[in-house]
Structure 1
Amino acid sequence: MNRSFNLRRQLLASMAGAALLTAPWVAAAQPAASDKPIRMVVPLAAGSTVDAVARAIAPAFGRATGHPVVVENLVGAGGIPGTTQVVKAPKDGLTLGMISSNHVINPGIYKTIPYDSLKDITPIAVLATVPLVLVVNPALPVKNVAELVAHAKAHPDALNYGSAGNGSTLHLAGELLVSETGIRMKHVPYRGTGPLITDMIGGQVQLGFVSISQVAPQVKAGTLRALAVSTGTRSAALPDVPTLAEAGVPGYSFDAWIALVGPAGLPSPMVESYHAAIKAAMASPEAKTA
């Protein structure tokens, strides 16, 4: 990625997008007037955190709306092809989409996008905020962030860090680390976090940011080493792992988020109904145990 784009501006845009999507809606009860299935488009690979959230809520969301839900992965270019399918869909509530932080970061990365990231969607609900953790292959001779920075400065461009794709939140988290510390590393984009985690364990790439839920087992098993979390506070899932700010990168704080949206212009009663259905789905056993 060209580092000339303003990382700070894009990260602030990401947070602004998250704030927009947390606007309150009043619950009502008017689903789409059809018994056809709802298509839930995930613009990222199967096995990604966004995909996992979609599949966790889909059964209960379907029960709450009275529509079966079909999760469909449409992968590519920072999620743009999948989201394009959503924004261009009929306003009947039968095509919804999952988006994440990169949805509002993409305009600063890609020259042309076939939709307006804010005007062409109808926000339905924020589903999750996703804390990330910086992990390294245990063979890398670093035990903490200070040692990682020192090693990277002593060996510029020798380290490879992976992400779930160009423009992904994992990519931006890595670029922010590069920007804040002045180190030089090579970015290796993957098609999803599953292959990324496999290659970090295998040593094909040395490090990367991944959602805590996806690598906590590997960290506890010792196949990956956690150096720091991306958020401003420590995670209950990895309480002994410091924040990046605590670990020597002052001011570093990066939160990813996931939301459900539809095409612009969905009727308000439908949006309110879907928002209520999402609240019910998030409280379901499937979502709680995912």
Structure 2
Amino acid sequence: MRIGLDMMGGDFAPLEAVKGVKLFLDTVATNVHLVLIGDEQALLPLIADAQLDQSKYSIVHSSQVIGMNEHPTKALKEKQQSSIAIGFYLLQHKKIDAFISAGNTGAMMVGAIYSIKPIDGIQRPTISTPLPREDGSANTLLDAGINADCKPENLVQFAVLGSLYSQYILGVPQPKVGLLNIGEEEGKGNLLAQATYPLLKENEQIHFIGNVEGRDVFTDKADVVVCEGFTGNVILKMAESFYDLSVRRNIQDEYIARFDFETYGGTPVLGVSEPVIIGHGISKATAFKNMIVLAEKMIETKLLDKIKESFPTKVE
């Protein structure tokens, strides 16, 4: 199993990326071979200091970096020797089995959609975010910000993708799916919610439990919470602020500590044909390690095969 890691992506790269690789290799018993994509001149001294096991990694040199504020499509086209462009080239040509980056999110989405393509039948790939629950588990919220405007059919596909992710990656046997709304009763909400509800209700691929409200997203009422990306991203950023607030106020709480994004690392792009994981721009060592663990689990569980089986017909 070969997992590609963009060593130049993120505000603290490449140092924190190297620390994350060391943390993974030192703490996770695995047969993963890491393909480290980045500027050799910058990487080699850091790798030497980290004393990485040379049998567990290889380096693919990249001479360019896509900045966090660059235009995604333009940058990918003009910077063919960037770490992100090379990562997608390796993934597209089966040289690696998954690709991870904490770099330019837009460039990662463009690369995922146009280099390795969406799975047949999927209209829009999506990203999710975990929402911690008090019992130690987590709900899955999607879309978390990629698709700000959606059609009812998009939300139904997000529900199927979220259910598969919850089942095979998080280990939930029969995930309960809830539609995020302003009331529990059928018929509540805006036009999108009203049109989506009956489609979810009749879909036999999911266990739909009806509407869920904002107060339900951190409880066990639903395992998968579905909404369009505008609302989802607001909830994600609000959830992240809980942890920041607790740090500023020196509040020590085991549950609130789980809102630290480093705990989860990154989010997969669900709906594309190869495993792609996008990390937070301020990712540090723990986040990089956890992204590698997630990529390994996606490959081991054959999640993408399960998704392909659930979307057998191509949508034109």
Normalised-by-shorter TM-score class: under 0.3
TM superposition score normalised by structure 2? 0.25
More helix by share: 2
Higher normalized contact order (CA 8 Å, seq sep 6+, divided by chain length): 1
TM superposition score normalised by structure 1? 0.27
